[in-house]
Amino acid sequence: MPSTASSLPFVKISRRGAKRLQDGHVWVYRSDIISADGVAPGSAVGVADERGKFLGTALYSSASQIAIRMLSDRAVSDLPAMVRERIQAAIRYREQVVRDTDAYRVVFSEADFLPGLIVDRYHDLLSMQILTQAMDAEPLRNLVVSELNSALKPAAISERVDPRIRELEQLPARASGLVVGEKTGTIFTMNGVRFHYEALEGQKTGAFLDQRENYAAAARYAHGEALDVFCYQGGFALHLAQLSSCSKVTGVDSSRPALEVADRNATLNGREIEWIEANAFDLLRDYADAGRRYDTIVLDPPAFAKNKSSLETALRGYKELNLRALKMLRSGGILVTCCCSYHVSPAQYLDVVRVSARDVHRNLRIVENRGQAKDHPILINVPETEYLKCLIVNVSN
């Protein structure tokens, strides 16, 4: 092994895996691992190709299909120092690109060169999520917490645990909870709109921070009677009620607890919004059949395509929603239509909207073709970091 490879254990990968890295991606799948002898789960490793050529330093998972997540194409001698620097860099990046909010994503995993770590800020609270064996290891986890604590001085840091991810990574079960401080609830403000945040027990809240810039954009064009479909805790609806000229705003979601928080958020902002608990597909069908009309409709469903095999079904679901919404919009109306499935490409989603418009004989003009907020950066060589589509279209005839 080359001398640059330091003292880390080595993982050897196939030619296909090496090609992927040379093309700039940062993942190597398990099927491309040739040998990982004696490598402990979650360790930092050197990566080499079949012939032993050094390709860089990575974090290794013994369980995930993504076996290797690259840290650098060089040797890394001081991992803690590198992690600290990268957290600092992630914070500085937000200082450059984040405006008008005290809630944003501080660290976005691969896109901040910290694979397996997500950190969100809600005013004075931080919430972190750990997604891999390597980030879960006690020394690294402690280092992350202490760095975030000293750099951002939050009132508290909590950890949000996704039990499914821990299972996939073969990590011992762990409960969500506070890791620093005592405070679990706060109020954050984005674009001048206020929201309740509760980190833990009871009615847990949190926002879709990736939509933050789209909320403000939607409010620029929204008018008249507005319907926010899949409204969750009211992200779009509250922005429309507060920042646009809408005469009436209605939010629809199937989750009663989400609507309860939405209503508290409306009160917090002194706004009147109508909340309807319903299955969005049923409600849109009934309303469209009944000839209801709106001037603004927002569609922001959950990810229908969780993997490639569910793509066709997902596309049908997206089409049905868009068809019904387009039918109900008055001429001059605005449709804000979003898709957060990575497996549906921007071109595919545009096509769903185009075909829906053709089927209902409406003319569409693209007012804005948008994506995720800038605190969810897209790493140019990692397509998986680009997932959110948000089209704002003007509907006529």
3-class DSSP state of 122: strand
Considering only residues 275 to 304 of the shown chain, the ones binding ligand SAH according to CB under 6 A are 279-281, 300-302
Per CB under 6 A, 336 contacts ligand SAH:
no
Q: Which stretch binds ligand SAH (CB under 6 A): 15-23, 179-187, 224-232, 319-327?
A: 224-232
Length of the chain counted residue by residue: 397
Min dist. Cβ of residue 372 to ligand SAH (A): 12
Residue 250 near residue 273, CB atoms below 8 Å:
yes
Q: Give the residue, chosen from 60, 122, 236, 318, that forms a contact with ligand SAH under the rule CB under 6 A.
A: 236
Nearer to ligand SAH by Cβ, of 108 and 195: the residue is 195
Between 151 and 288, whose beta carbon lies closer to ligand SAH?
Answer: 288
Residues 6+ away with beta carbon under 8 Å from 122: 102, 103, 186, 188, 197, 199, 206, 207
Q: Which is nearer to ligand SAH, 211 or 250 (CB)?
A: 211
Contact track, ligand SAH, 238-277, x by CB under 6 A: ---------------xxx--x-------------------
Buried b (16+ CB within 10 A) or exposed e, 272-288: ebebeeeebeebbeebb
Q: Which of 27, 108, 232, 294 binds ligand SAH (CB under 6 A)?
A: 232
Nearest 5°: phi and psi at 309?
A: -70, -20
User: Do 273 and 239 contact (CB within 8 A), yes or no?
Assistant: no
Q: Is 231 in the site for ligand SAH (CB under 6 A)?
A: yes
CB closer to ligand SAH out of 104 and 208: 208
Give the residue closest to ligand SAH by C-beta.
235
Output 64 or 233, the one with its CB closest to ligand SAH. 233
Please confirm, yes or no, whether 340 is among the known catalytic residues: yes
Q: Which among 246, 338, 339, 340 is annotated as catalytic? A: 340
Alpha carbon dihedral 216, 221, 224, 226, in 10-degree steps, equals: -50
Residues 389, 372: Cα–Cα separation, whole Å: 7
Provide the minimum distance between the beta carbon of 250 and ligand SAH in the complex, in angstroms, as a whole number.
13
Structure tokens at 74: 């060089």
Q: Is the Cβ of residue 64 or residue 296 nearer to ligand SAH in the bound state?
A: 296
Establish how many alpha carbons lie within 13 A of residue 345's alpha carbon, considering only the half-sphere containing its beta carbon.
Answer: 4
Q: Is 329 in the site for ligand SAH (CB under 6 A)?
A: no
Size of the site for ligand SAH (CB under 6 A): 18
State phi, psi for 135 to the nearest 5 degrees.
Answer: -70, -25
Cα 358 to Cα 259, 338, 348, 363: the distances in Å are: 34, 19, 15, 8
Site of interaction with ligand SAH (CB under 6 A): 208, 211, 230-233, 235-236, 253-255, 258, 279-281, 300-302
Give the catalytic positions in this structure: 340
